[in-house]
Amino acid sequence: MFVQNKDRWTELRKKCAEKNIQFSQARNSAQGLKLQAKTVADFRNLQNLLVSLKFAFHTYSLKEEREIRVVLRGVPKEIPLDEVKEDLLSQHLPVQSVRRIQNHFREPLDLVLVSGTAEETIRRQSRHLQNQSVCSSPASKRAAPQTPYPAVS
């Protein structure tokens, strides 16, 4: 979080001490005073304090609050999106939305975009998708990789 009111630093530091708001880093930068809170609770409390004291500041979203998107490949067009979402939810994956990706002619592709939030979501999904495929097409449809040059004996 960056605080633009550098001249009010002592006031801010005293208020943070009163409210028991801790930060691990405070340094001067071109954008203002860069404050890094120790915990998510401290971050939110510091943000509320800055608003109440009418400080000029800007911040970035927390990793826990960012939207995470994962593309599932090989999901047949015949499978409805409701079934894909139910399948992901039954595997205890926190899913917010599921939609089919289309080409520029608006024809559906074998790609599904899954959206969710929280850092834990992406960890679970990426770990899960590395281990097995979700709603994947049968192995008989997969083509074997081709070698660029024939083997020389």
Per residue of the chain (153 residues), give pLDDT as tens: 999 989 999 999 999 999 999 999 999 999 999 999 999 899 999 999 999 999 999 998 887 778 889 999 999 999 999 999 999 999 888 889 999 999 999 999 999 999 987 655 555 656 665 555 555 444 444 455 555 555 555
Sequence-separated (6 or more) residues with CB below 8 Å from residue 109 = 77, 100, 101, 102, 103
pTM for this entry = 0.53
Question: Could you read off the pLDDT of 105-118 as tens digits, one per residue?
Answer: 999 999 999 998 76
Single out the residue of 100, 83, 89 nearest to residue 124, CA to CA: 89
Q: What does the angle CA 57 – CA 60 – CA 61 come to, to the nearest 5 degrees? A: 130
Sequence-separated (6 or more) residues with CB below 8 Å from residue 62 = 40, 43
Identify the pLDDT of residue 67.
82
Identify the pLDDT of residue 137.
47
DSSP letter at 26 equals E
Identify the pLDDT of residue 139.
46
Asked whether 5 and 51 are in contact (CB, 8 A), the reply is: no
